[in-house]
């Protein structure tokens, strides 16, 4: 029988009532790994003075085979002039809370830090207090080159904090090995590492009864931030629609004001060329709001491919979700995506990215992505969706990821 290890996870991001989507991939890691490991999660969120504290999402304290969440909401001043005072408040309250949480846990064998921004100091202080190993998992894309918010563009305190934390890390469990190499180069030393991919929710499954769409259909799922290069995807699909057969394009995750913004952008792209028409019968596009996993899986089942064109990424959850649904992927070759996509499950393309420039919307990239879309449209039947899903679940399923982390913990 496997030994039941106990781990305290110190997390920089985690879902709360203030933001149910923040760090949801960390939540999925915890849910999967709590089958073999007794996991306690320590998270400090912030709220403005005079406003309601941040609270856990209902039913977060689940039953026996689940993690235990310890959430602290720390008040902060809104004025940036008070930033030093905010840091003092943050660390004083967090350290006091952390010691109280630790005192109430019978045994802690491992500390595991997820996204070290700000809370990294707390993890190192607990390591020194408890004299136990510290594991790190990072999800942030700031180590990718080039990105405007790159690690080296951050202030001196920020860089010092990360280097200080890295110095005290005993091993890393990374969602992207490319990310780990970039961190080693920037932070100054080598660390033992395992591949610890993001967990895919069980809602993402292949449905063999689904019929192939009558019209070539691409879907994109994201929060629409600039590095996702939404206009590039739209312009490339518009060009594809002129290659001889109809094209459908669906954008998922854009609500309210963001949806209106992109609708204006798309009409602007259409109107920028006199040969384009708003009423083009060969090009149909939709902007959809945020969807639940089951709804996204249904969209995947009724599409021919997922399309991503990010300037920077680590290991996007949406790609692993797409693959577990059996849906092949078109993606820019950035971050750790090259480990996720090969000729069996999709096509990669290289973006032309200018240093510190975002987004990557230019004629060269439009043509490159168009060519990749055309390649997918012409070869989509070669992809065996059931096999794509089967292979992906072996990598991104609960059992594999739980066992990988358990073995790392045992080795420490």
* pTM score above 0.85: yes
Cα 10 to Cα 119: distance, rounded to the nearest angstrom: 7
Mean pLDDT of 206-227: 90
So what's the pLDDT on residue 127? 97
Read off the tokens for 308.
Answer: 């991503």
Q: Show Cβ contacts of residue 248 under 8 Å, excluding neighbours closer than 6 positions.
A: 213, 215, 216, 217, 218, 284, 285, 286
Task: Quickly state the pLDDT bin for 209 (edges 50, 70, 90).
Answer: confident
At 277-314, the pLDDT tens digits run 566 788 999 999 999 999 999 999 999 999 999 988 88
Q: In order of start, what are the domains of the chain with their CATH numbers?
A: 5-199+397-411 (3.40.50.2000), 216-394 (3.40.50.2000)
At 151-173, the pLDDT tens digits run 898 999 999 999 999 999 999 99
Q: Is 173 helix (H, G, I), strand (E, B) or coil?
A: strand
Task: Quickly state the pLDDT bin for 266 (edges 50, 70, 90).
Answer: very high
So what's the pLDDT on residue 144? 79
Read off the tokens for 366.
Answer: 């439009």
* Bridge partners, 249 (sequence order): 218, 285
Question: Which one, of 204, 121, 197, lies nearest residue 163 by Cα?
Answer: 121
Reply yes or no on whether the pLDDT at 372 is more than 50: yes
So what's the pLDDT on residue 356? 55
Cα 236 to Cα 361: distance, rounded to the nearest angstrom: 10
Higher-confidence residue of 238 and 63: namely 238
């Amino acid at each position: 029988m496997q030994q039941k290890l106990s781990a305290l996870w110190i997390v920089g991001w985690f879902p709360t009532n203030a933001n149910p989507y923040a760090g949801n991939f960390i939540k999925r890691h915890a849910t999967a790994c709590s089958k073999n490991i007794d996991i306690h999660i320590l998270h400090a969120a912030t709220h403005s003075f005079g406003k309601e504290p941040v609270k856990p999402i209902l039913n977060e304290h689940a039953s026996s085979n689940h993690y235990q969440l310890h959430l602290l909401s720390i008040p902060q001043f809104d004025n940036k002039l008070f930033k030093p005072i905010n840091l003092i408040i943050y660390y004083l309250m967090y350290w006091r809370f952390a010691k109280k949480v630790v005192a109430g846990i019978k045994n802690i064998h491992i500390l595991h830090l997820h996204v070290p921004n700000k809370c990294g100091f707390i993890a190192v202080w607990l390591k020194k207090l408890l004299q136990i190993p510290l594991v790190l998992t990072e999800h942030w894309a700031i180590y990718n080159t080039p990105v405007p918010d790159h690690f080296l563009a951050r202030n001196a305190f920020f860089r010092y904090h990360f280097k200080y934390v890295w110095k005290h890390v005993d091993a890393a469990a990374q969602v992207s090995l490319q990310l780990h190499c970039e961190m080693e180069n920037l932070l100054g030393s080598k660390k033992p590492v395992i591949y610890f991919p993001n967990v895919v929710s069980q809602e993402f499954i292949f449905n063999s009864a689904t019929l192939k769409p009558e019209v070539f259909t691409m879907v994109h799922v994201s929060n629409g931030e600039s590095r996702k290069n939404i206009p590039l995807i739209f312009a490339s699909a518009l060009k594809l629609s002129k290659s001889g057969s109809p094209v459908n394009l669906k954008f998922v995750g854009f609500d309210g004001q963001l949806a209106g913004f992109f609708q204006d952008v798309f009409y602007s792209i259409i109107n920028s060329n006199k040969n384009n028409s708003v009423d083009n019968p060969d090009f149909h596009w939709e902007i959809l709001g945020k969807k639940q996993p089951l709804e996204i899986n249904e969209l995947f089942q009724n599409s021919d491919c997922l399309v991503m064109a990010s300037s920077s990424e680590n290991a996007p959850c949406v790609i692993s979700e797409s693959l577990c649904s059996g849906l092949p992927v078109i993606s820019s070759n950035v971050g750790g995506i090259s480990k996720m996509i090969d000729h069996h499950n999709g096509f990669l393309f290289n973006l032309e990215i200018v240093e510190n420039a975002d987004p990557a919307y230019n004629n060269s990239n439009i043509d490159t992505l168009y060519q990749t879309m055309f390649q997918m449209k012409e070869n989509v039947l070669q992809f065996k969706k059931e096999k794509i899903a089967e292979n992906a679940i072996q990598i991104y399923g609960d059992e594999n990821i739980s066992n990988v982390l358990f073995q790392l913990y045992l080795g420490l």
